[in-house]
């Protein structure tokens, strides 16, 4: 039994994401757009990955599929042991709720609600009713926003808003955290703070990080870079 933690350390044997021959085709009238052509990849638990590539190369499309926001047109995808391709809308919603945390470039907070209520939202969809405020508050404290929990997004800076978004993404203790250009709307100093926060969270709780970015400095801080071009993974 002592072998188990050793096995978890051994990343090769413990993939959280397994994608085989993913393709995504958008049909626009008679024209077909091949956003993803044939992508296979494996990401291990606790890894920090960045996805790079020129605009239109399919980064966001891949991200959406890996985050279970969208289904691939072809191929097989297994997230944390669950084959996703066959699930219906509500089952996908439940997977997203439990296993995936999203951080967006434009924060995407509910503007009418306080930081606390925003962070509570995934807990509500998870059906957690008791101790919800406590859990949400802890998540906000973990991202350094303890004193700001009752502020609305309009009363927070961009960096603080992104911290709220990160707290919200992590509040359900997901297996993976997906960030699509999380620093894209921030200046480089604040962007680096957010990056530090994400890396720190990965170190402390072992959450797998997948970051889409255009910024080579951000990519340089990750353990592995996946490069996309025209819907294919570039071998570097």
Cα 88 from chain centre:
21
Nearest to 213 by CA among 35, 17, 48: 48
Binding to other proteins by residue 133, rule CB under 8 A? no
Min dist CB 185 to other proteins, Å, is 15
Min dist CB 90 to Mg ion, Å, is 26
**Taking contact as CB under 8 A, which single stretch among the options 98-106, 136-144, 196-204, 224-232 is the one that binds other proteins?**
98-106
In angstroms, the CA 33 to CA 42 distance is 25
Nearest to 217 by CA among 195, 190, 185: 195
Min dist CB 221 to other proteins, Å, is 25
Binding to other proteins by residue 98, rule CB under 8 A? yes
In the complex with other proteins, the residue whose CB is nearer, 47 or 180, is: 180
Min dist CB 11 to Mg ion, Å, is 27
Binding to Mg ion by residue 60, rule CB under 5 A? yes
In angstroms, the CA 182 to CA 180 distance is 6
**Residue pair 95/68 in contact by the 8 Å Cβ criterion:** yes
Q: What does the CA dihedral 218, 16, 22, 63 come to, rounded to 10 degrees? A: -40
**Taking contact as CB under 8 A, which single stretch among the options 12-20, 50-58, 66-74, 224-232 is the one that binds other proteins?**
66-74
Nearest to 8 by CA among 50, 48, 42, 44: 44
In the complex with other proteins, the residue whose CB is nearer, 90 or 204, is: 90
Q: What are phi and psi of 24, to 5 degrees?
A: -135, 120
Min dist CB 138 to other proteins, Å, is 18
Size of the site for other proteins (CB under 8 A): 26
Residues in the chain: 236
Nearest to 233 by CA among 61, 86, 10: 61
Binding to other proteins by residue 29, rule CB under 8 A? no
In the complex with other proteins, the residue whose CB is nearer, 176 or 219, is: 176
**Taking contact as CB under 8 A, which single stretch among the options 13-21, 36-44, 107-115, 191-199 is the one that binds other proteins?**
107-115
Size of the site for Mg ion (CB under 5 A): 1
H/E stretch holding 67 reads: none
Nearest to 63 by CA among 177, 165, 173: 177
Residue numbers at the binding site for other proteins (CB under 8 A): 64, 67, 69-70, 89-90, 93-94, 96-98, 102, 104, 108, 110, 112-113, 121-122, 124-127, 129, 168, 172
Residue numbers at the binding site for Mg ion (CB under 5 A): 60
């Amino acid at each position: 039994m002592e072998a188990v933690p050793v096995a978890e350390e051994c990343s090769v044997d413990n993939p959280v994401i397994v994608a085989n021959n993913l393709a995504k085709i958008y049909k626009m009238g008679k024209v077909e757009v091949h956003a993803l052509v044939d992508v296979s990849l494996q990401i291990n638990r606790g890894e920090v990955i960045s996805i790079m590539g020129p605009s239109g190369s399919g980064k966001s499309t891949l991200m959406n599929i890996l985050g279970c926001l969208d289904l691939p047109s072809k191929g097989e995808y297994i997230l944390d042991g669950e084959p996703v391709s066959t699930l219906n809308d509500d089952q996908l919603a439940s997977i997203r709720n439990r296993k995936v945390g999203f951080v967006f470039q434009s924060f995407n907070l509910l503007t009418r609600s306080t930081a606390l209520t925003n962070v509570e939202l995934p807990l509500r969809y998870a059906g957690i009713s008791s101790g919800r405020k406590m859990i949400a508050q802890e998540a906000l404290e973990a991202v350094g926003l303890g004193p700001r929990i009752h502020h609305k997004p309009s009363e927070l800076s961009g960096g603080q808003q992104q911290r709220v978004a990160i707290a919200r993404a992590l509040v359900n203790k997901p297996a993976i955290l997906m960030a699509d250009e999380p620093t894209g709307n921030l200046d480089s100093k604040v962007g680096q703070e957010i990056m530090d926060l994400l890396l720190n969270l990965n170190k402390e709780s072992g959450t797998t990080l997948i970051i889409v970015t255009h910024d080579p400095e951000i990519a340089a801080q990750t353990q592995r870079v996946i490069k996309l071009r025209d819907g294919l993974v570039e071998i570097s």
